[in-house]
Amino acid sequence: METNLQELKQVAKLAKIELSKQEEEKLIKQIASVVNWVEEIQKVDTSALTRLQEYFTPKREDIPMQFEKADVLTSAFNDKQDKLLKVKKVL
């Protein structure tokens, strides 16, 4: 449980989710309790399943398509310069 709490805090950072002290206290404990609950699936014997890739949704071919309303998309940018998305400095 304790390992999970530490790890979940780290995972939140990786997912770009910032938690306030108060939020962290509550949310992380709740998620740890969910982790404990979902762990029960580890009891299931799945040894009869060998061809796992067949159970995933098949991937489609990656073919580029033209979206006719590109300007509508760029008009939603929160900050831009000409047609380009403008972001804060990276470093």
Contact residues toward another protein (CB under 8 A) are 7-8, 11-12, 14-19, 23, 27-28, 30-31, 33-35, 37-42, 44, 46, 49, 52, 55-57, 60, 69, 72-73, 76-79, 85, 87-91
Q: Which amino acid is at 91?
A: L
In angstroms, give the least distance from the CB of 43 to another protein. 9
Could you tell me if 9 and 24 are in contact, meaning their C-beta atoms sit under 8 angstroms apart? Answer: yes
In angstroms, give the least distance from the CB of 35 to another protein. 7
Contacts 24+ apart (CB under 8 A), 80-86: none
**Structure-token pair, residue 11:** 């995972």
